[in-house]
């Protein structure tokens, strides 16, 4: 386990070239931590704010959620591509973080439905824009042998923020007699601190990268000609299609273990806590014993989740699912980014990471829609069986495609 | 940025930034916590429904963006200079009949929990029942025997853009759930009718309390159903009806008819002919209306002055005259006549 080395973070990097996680990764992790505290504070109270306070119909809210997903996907591709093109990952990532911070002011500005919808859309866009350039910065400032450790550290801090956000919101609500404005103000301040860290402490001199090529659309899609990267994309997409989303997993558990949907936020907090705890050690394991193996092992955890959620009952099953889900995230999200970025030419790191993230996110979205439909038509058991079969098949495919260069 | 602060080290800038942020956040919280804004708290408090002697009167949930938000309010309907009262009972959705009230309330926390509360003339909660979703509709039968609660069961709602609801009937004397409408035997044209995606919402009770009407949604179709509490059965009457509300004389139903993906137009349905006519309100109404008498209704609409956040209560008659605002900054109207 790492302890936060504050002195090292806020001082210029020393000349020692011992292999350890760079200051850039630490700073990006801290930025993500504050940003996630900020955004999860708001998302945890958003449903009640919209429905109980503004009296907006949840149906209208659900209808445009799909649209936002589309926005985020386009923003992600654009963010990764432009960061490569301008050779300035830091500026694009910081812009994405700043955009989301500004949204908190939007929520304070008024009660109009259109304003609330616009701030949510801009927030998602900001999140989309910053993801790929930030991951590219992590990758470009890390020795290739330590990529999974670096991503593990970043994801651990990120998940810690996601875990704390709802708790901070709760404390604030009880301190201020339920003032939503107080939450938005504090959330804004947390986001500003996050932006401050990336702007002030992250060295963004990506211009010193190898000047071997220039980012273009052709070059971005040409990345799929790199055999190992293509295999990662294919295997990652197949696995993501067979992934049952958290909300469906929790919904299934809700039927077996009797609890209300109002407890869902607490389950997300539990998964984030496990994810945060396991990301760092699993990242180390991945670097030492093989990232691809770790990535596949993560999906075996997911397969176990499918088994437990349909077969078992009671609170113990609930805890086991939270634990396994946390392990699944810790062994897949950062590890895939690490495996992919190890294969990418430096000048296309942002574009490539955006591409694979968009593929896997789209896969998960399609998987969710498919799962919901099969559940409606055929019932829960057939739906889970179908997805478990799909996951086993995807694992087999991924095993065959095992990229030789990725340890 | 670094060039801007050429002479200042980033560390000092950062410490300054953090200080400003902590001061702003901390200061705001202390302000909200200490000097509790008194806006709205100058209204007189009603501890008894009889405090307002005039009848009819209207009970509602306050949608003002001040400290009364979410608390019940009380106002006489026809007084020359109506005094608005506030109460100390907090409800997102409320209904009241024959001395018994049903309040759907949220308690905000790490986990926001929802409860259905049965309360009396004194606004004191007698019974409390946990709910498994976000409150949507509440109704009490005219004799105060039964209550009906519809909640949105979120969680499976956003992946495909549709939603799922659950409707529970409550025995108001004990505060216990007596049935979930999903357990009722439904028939369509005499045939048994069942599908896994059945959703029920928006119950309205007939005069004998045992008969009720509600919406049954399945696939893309919404049916008006007529149900029988004792018999635990229901039959479909016609299609295209949501959130029915039966007039006091039992001759008409006002309902919302879907006219777009998320927009509705109020219509009135004649119960003998089962034929519907659009009402004068042209804005989209997503509410279960409340009858003020046999010819006029009240309903909530997004507040115009704040651009769609918040709510006002509007009223109109069946005679196609223009709707008018009844109470501003209010939600979930309930007529009190006793």
CATH of the domain at B17: 2.120.10.30
Of B11, B157, B302, the CB nearest to A62: B157
Cα gap A275→B260, rounded to integer Å? 42
Report the pLDDT value the prediction gives residue B161, as an integer from 0 to 100. 41
CA distance B168 to chain A (A): 15
- For residues A344 and A223, the answer to whether their CB atoms sit within 8 Å is yes
Q: Is residue B1 part of a domain?
A: no
Q: Is residue B3 part of a domain?
A: no
A21-204+213-400 CATH fold: Growth Hormone; Chain: A; (1.20.1250)
Q: Angle CA(B99)–CA(B102)–CA(B107) in degrees, nearest 5?
A: 140
Task: Give the CB-side neighbour count of residue A293, counting CA atoms within 13 A.
Answer: 11
Query: Looking at the 3D structure of chain B, how many domains does it have?
Result: 1
Report the pLDDT value the prediction gives residue A14, as an integer from 0 to 100. 43
CA distance B107 to chain A (A): 10
Of A116, A174, A200, the CB nearest to B10: A200
Q: Is residue B36 part of a domain?
A: yes
Exposure b/e, A92-106, CB count within 10 A at least 16 = b: bbbbbbbbbbbbbeb
- Backbone φ and ψ for A211, nearest 5 degrees, come out as -95, 30
Task: Give the SS3 label for residue A40.
Answer: helix
Are A265 and B111 inside 8 Å of each other by CB? yes
Provide the 8-state DSSP code for A354: H
Chain B residue numbers touching A197 (CB-CB < 8 A): 14
Please name the residue of chain A whose CA is at the shortest distance from the CA of residue B159.
A369
Q: What is the pLDDT of residues B101-148, one digit of tens each?
A: 999 998 766 677 889 999 999 999 999 999 988 889 999 999 999 999
Long-range Cβ pairs for the range B222-229 (8 Å, 24+): B222/B258, B223/B188, B224/B253, B224/B255, B224/B269, B225/B186, B225/B200, B227/B181, B227/B184, B229/B146, B229/B169, B229/B178, B229/B179
Could you identify the residue written with the tokens 């990471």?
A353
Cα gap A326→A348, rounded to integer Å? 30
Q: Is the pLDDT of residue B158 over 50?
A: no
A395 to A236, A275, A297, A400: CA distances (angstroms): 10, 22, 9, 9
Are B331 and A254 inside 8 Å of each other by CB? no
Q: What is the pLDDT of residues A363-398, one digit of tens each?
A: 988 888 888 788 878 888 899 999 999 999 999 999
| Best mutation target, A41, A62, A90, A382, to test chain B (most B CBs within 10 A) | A62
Q: What is the pLDDT of residues B200-240, one digit of tens each?
A: 999 999 988 999 999 999 888 999 999 999 999 999 999 99
What contacts A7, CB < 8 A, 6 or more positions away?
none
- For residues B99 and B72, the answer to whether their CB atoms sit within 8 Å is no
| Best mutation target, B108, B261, B264, to test chain A (most A CBs within 10 A) | B108
Chain A residue numbers touching B132 (CB-CB < 8 A): 260-262
Report the pLDDT value the prediction gives residue B277, as an integer from 0 to 100. 94
Q: What is the pLDDT of residues B25-81, one digit of tens each?
A: 999 988 887 655 566 677 888 888 888 888 889 999 999 888 888 899 999 988 766
Q: Count of A–B CB contacts within 8 Å? A: 185
User: Percentage of residues in chain B with pLDDT exceeding 70?
Assistant: 89
Spans of chain A below 70 pLDDT:
1-19, 57-67, 205-213, 258-262, 403-407
Q: Hey, is the C-beta of B262 within 8 angstroms of any chain A C-beta? A: yes
Residue B14's pLDDT band (boundaries 50, 70, 90)? very high
Please name the residue of chain B whose CA is at the shortest distance from the CA of residue A187.
B25
Report the pLDDT value the prediction gives residue A329, as an integer from 0 to 100. 97
Report the pLDDT value the prediction gives residue B155, as an integer from 0 to 100. 46
Cα gap A33→B21, rounded to integer Å? 16
Given the cut 0.85, state whether the ipTM is greater than it: no
Are A55 and B36 inside 8 Å of each other by CB? no
Are A47 and B154 inside 8 Å of each other by CB? yes
Q: Is residue B4 part of a domain?
A: no
Residues of the domain holding B181 = 10-336
Q: Angle CA(B237)–CA(B243)–CA(B245) in degrees, nearest 5?
A: 80
Please name the residue of chain B whose CA is at the shortest distance from the CA of residue A193.
B18
Q: Hey, is the C-beta of B34 within 8 angstroms of any chain A C-beta? A: no
What contacts B305, CB < 8 A, 6 or more positions away?
none
Please name the residue of chain B whose CA is at the shortest distance from the CA of residue A267.
B111
Q: Is residue B321 part of a domain?
A: yes
Q: Is residue B314 part of a domain?
A: yes
- For residues B59 and B74, the answer to whether their CB atoms sit within 8 Å is yes
Are B113 and A54 inside 8 Å of each other by CB? no
Mean pLDDT for all residues in chain B: 88
Report the pLDDT value the prediction gives residue B173, as an integer from 0 to 100. 96
Q: Is residue B5 part of a domain?
A: no
Report the pLDDT value the prediction gives residue B181, as an integer from 0 to 100. 95
pTM of the predicted model as reported, rounded to 2 decimal places:
0.83
Q: Which residues pair with B71 in a beta bridge?
A: B90
Report the pLDDT value the prediction gives residue A162, as an integer from 0 to 100. 94
Q: Is residue B263 part of a domain?
A: yes
Of B106, B110, B196, the CB nearest to A170: B110
């Amino acid at each position: 386990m790492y302890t936060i080395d504050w002195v090292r973070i806020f001082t210029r990097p020393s000349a020692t070239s011992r292999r350890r996680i760079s200051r850039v990764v630490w700073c990006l992790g801290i930025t993500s931590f504050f940003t996630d505290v900020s955004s999860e504070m708001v998302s945890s109270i958003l449903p009640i704010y919209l429905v109980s306070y503004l009296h907006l119909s949840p149906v209208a809210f659900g209808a445009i959620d799909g649209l936002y997903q589309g926005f985020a996907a386009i923003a992600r591709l654009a963010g990764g591509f432009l960061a490569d093109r301008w050779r300035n990952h830091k500026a694009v990532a910081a812009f994405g973080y700043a955009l989301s911070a500004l949204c908190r002011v939007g929520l304070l500005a008024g009660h109009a439905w259109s304003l609330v919808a616009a701030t949510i859309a801009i927030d998602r866009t900001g999140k989309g824009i910053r993801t790929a350039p930030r991951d590219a910065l992590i990758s470009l400032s890390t020795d290739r042998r330590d990529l999974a450790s670096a991503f593990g550290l970043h994801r651990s801090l990120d998940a810690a923020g996601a875990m704390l956000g709802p708790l901070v919101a709760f404390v604030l609500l009880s301190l201020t007699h339920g003032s939503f404005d107080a939450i938005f103000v504090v959330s804004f301040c947390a986001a500003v601190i996050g932006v401050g860290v990336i702007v002030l402490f992250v060295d963004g001199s990506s211009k010193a990268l190898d000047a071997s090529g220039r980012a273009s659309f052709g070059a971005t899609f040409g990345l799929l000609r790199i055999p190992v990267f293509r295999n990662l994309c294919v295997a990652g997409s197949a696995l993501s299609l067979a992934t049952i989303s958290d909300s469906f997993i929790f919904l299934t558990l809700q039927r077996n273990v009797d609890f209300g949907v109002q407890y869902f936020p607490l389950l997300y907090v539990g998964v984030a806590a496990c994810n945060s705890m396991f990301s760092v050690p699993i990242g180390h394991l991945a670097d030492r014993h093989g990232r691809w193996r770790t990535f596949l092992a993560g999906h075996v955890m997911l397969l176990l989740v499918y088994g437990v959620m349909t077969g078992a009952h009671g609170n113990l099953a609930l805890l086991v699912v939270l634990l396994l889900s946390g392990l699944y995230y810790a062994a897949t999200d950062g590890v895939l980014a690490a495996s992919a970025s190890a294969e990418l030419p430096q000048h296309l790191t942002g574009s490539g990471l955006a591409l694979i993230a968009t593929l896997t996110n789209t896969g998960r979205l399609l998987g969710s829609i498919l799962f919901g439909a099969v559940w409606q038509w055929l019932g829960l058991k057939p739906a889970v069986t179908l997805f478990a079969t799909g996951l086993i098949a995807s694992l087999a495919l991924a095993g065959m495609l095992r990229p030789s260069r990725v340890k | 940025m670094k060039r801007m602060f050429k002479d200042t080290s980033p560390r000092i800038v950062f410490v300054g930034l953090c200080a400003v942020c902590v001061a702003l956040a901390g200061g705001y919280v202390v302000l909200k916590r200490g000097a509790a804004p008194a806006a709205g708290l100058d209204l007189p408090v009603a501890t008894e429904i009889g405090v307002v002697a005039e009848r009819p009167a209207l009970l509602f949930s306050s949608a003002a963006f001040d400290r009364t938000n979410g608390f019940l309010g009380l106002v006489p309907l026809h007084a020359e200079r109506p005094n608005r009262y506030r109460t100390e009972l907090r409800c997102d959705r409320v209904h009241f009949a024959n001395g018994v009230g049903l309040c759907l309330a949220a308690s905000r926390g790490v986990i926001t929990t929802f409860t259905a509360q049965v309360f009396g003339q004194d606004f004191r909660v007698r019974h409390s029942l946990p709910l498994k979703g976000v409150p949507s509709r509440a109704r009490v039968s005219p004799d105060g025997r039964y209550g009906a609660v519809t909640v949105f069961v979120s969680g499976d709602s956003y992946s495909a853009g549709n939603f799922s609801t659950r409707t529970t009937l409550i025995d108001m004397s004990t505060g216990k759930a007596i049935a979930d409408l999903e357990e009722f035997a439904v028939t369509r044209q005499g045939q048994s009718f069942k599908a896994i995606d059945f959703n029920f919402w928006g119950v309205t009770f007939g005069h004998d309390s045992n008969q009720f009407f509600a919406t049954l949604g399945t696939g893309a179709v919404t049916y008006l159903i007529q149900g029988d509490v004792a018999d635990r059965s229901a039959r479909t009457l016609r299609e295209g009806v949501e959130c029915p509300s039966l007039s006091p004389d039992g001759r008409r139903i006002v309902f919302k008819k879907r006219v777009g993906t998320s927009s509705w137009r109020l219509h009135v349905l004649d119960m003998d002919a089962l034929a519907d006519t659009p009402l004068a309100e042209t804005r989209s109404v997503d509410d279960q209306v409340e009858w003020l008498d046999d010819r006029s209704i009240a309903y909530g609409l997004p507040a115009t002055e704040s651009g769609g956040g918040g709510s006002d209560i509007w009223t109109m008659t069946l005679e196609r005259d223009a709707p008018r605002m009844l109470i501003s900054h209010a939600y979930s109207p309930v007529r009190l006549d006793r």
